[in-house]
Amino acid sequence: GTGSDTEAPAGQNDVVVLDARNLYETRIGKFHVPNVETLHPEIRQYSDLPLWIDEHTEKLRGKSIMMYCTGGIRCEMASAYIRSKGEGFENVFQLYGGIQRYLEQYPDGGYFDGKNFVFDHRISVGSNKDNILGTCLVCGSTYDDYSSRCRCSNCRMLVLVCSTCQDSTKEYVCELCLKNGKQCCEISVKQDCQAEPELSEPSDIGKLSISNKISTSKAPGSNGKVVSS
């Protein structure tokens, strides 16, 4: 529909930005809005997000929640799930068109730093800023290239391993597995860095209602106003 300026229902301190993407995506790019808290669930896959929301309801209750993801599909589902919790969870908004459309409208990156992970042969798309947020899992050097498709030996989540540290005789353990005390497992190490079937972004939004959308004509939380449709 046509957009119209509407005052955000709460002050800036009552606004949170919620990244609905997976951890491996947020490693290489994310929004940074000054003076607005951003929540990064650090999930391995989208199906883990509802549980994270359940465990952080008090963090979200009464807030104006500004959600974003790659292209908007995951936010459609997640925003409906949050609203289903009832009173205190009515003000949920999403970035219309996701990061992809935002970067098209703001080639300099705007409030988005790093690169947008995409689910096709490009792997990631950056802005004119061309800054690098990611770091190599092994040596900690600046790095954000997933083209080698290196994966955690335990959970198979993508990990960043620079070309210098890539070694077919080694296994890699992601930060989430390390946090849970998991070490390298006994698998074929040759599987750690090789091409695997392309990842795909969830596309089935079923019969979920369409959520409010934040127009890319304004950055999330930039001035207390949003454009909804």
Integer Cα distance of 32 and 77 in angstroms:
23
Look at residues 40, 1, 8, 77 and name the one whose alpha carbon lies nearest to residue 219.
8
CATH architecture of the domain with range 4-114+201-228: 3-Layer(aba) Sandwich (3.40)
Host H or E run for residue 26: helix 23-26
Mean pLDDT within 97-106: 94
pLDDT tens, 2-12?
A: 333 334 444 55
Mean pLDDT within 189-206: 47
Residue with tokens 């989430």: 176
Catalytic residues: 69
pLDDT of res. 205: 36
pLDDT band at residue 188 under the 50/70/90 scheme: very low
| Model confidence at 86: pLDDT above 50 | yes
Angle at 68 between CA 65 and CA 72, to 5 degrees: 120
Look at residues 32, 22, 91 and name the one whose alpha carbon lies nearest to residue 60.
91
Mean pLDDT within 129-157: 94
Host H or E run for residue 65: strand 64-68
The whole-chain average pLDDT of the chain stands at 81
The domains of the chain are located at: 4-114+201-228
